Amino acid sequence: MQRSLKKNAVVVRGSGMTIDDAVDVARHGVRTELSSDESILCEVRASRQCVLDAIERGIPMYGITSGFGGMAHVQIAREELEALQTNLPWFLKAGAGDLLPAADVRSTMLLRANALMRGVSGIRLELIDRLIIFLNAGVTPQVRCFGSIGASGDLVPLAAIAGAIAGLGDAFLVDFRGETMGARAALSRLGLEPLTLAPKEGLALVNGTSAMSGIAAGCLYDARQLLALSLAAHALALQGLGASLHPFHAFIHDHKPYPGQRFAASRMLALLYGSTLIHDELDLGPKYGGGKMIQDRYSSPWSRA
Which of the residues are catalytic? 62
DSSP assignment of 30-43, as one string? -EEEE---HHHHHH
| Strand 9-12 to 31-34 pairing | parallel
Q: How many CB atoms lie within 10 A of CB 17?
A: 21
**Amino acid letter, residue 302:** W
DSSP string, 46-77: HHHHHHHHHHHTT---TTTTB-SGGGTTSBPP
- What span, in angstroms and rounded, lies between the C-alpha atoms of 120 and 57? 19
Convert 108-122 to b/e letters by CB count within 10 Å (16 or more is b).
bbbbbbbbbbebebb
What residues does 150 pair with on adjacent strands?
Answer: 153
Query: In angstroms, rounded to a whole number, what is the distance separating the alpha carbons of residues 205 and 108?
Result: 11
Residue 222: in which H helix or E strand, if any?
Answer: helix 210-240
Give strand pairing partners of 8.
none
With beta carbons less than 8 A apart as the criterion, state whether 139 and 177 touch.
Answer: yes
Q: Are 129 and 34 in contact (CB under 8 A)?
A: yes
Q: Residue 132 and residue 113: Cα distance in Å, rounded?
A: 8
What is the rounded end-to-end Cα distance, in angstroms, of the chain? 34
Could you tell me which residues come within 8 angstroms of residue 38 by beta carbon, excluding any fewer than 6 positions away? none
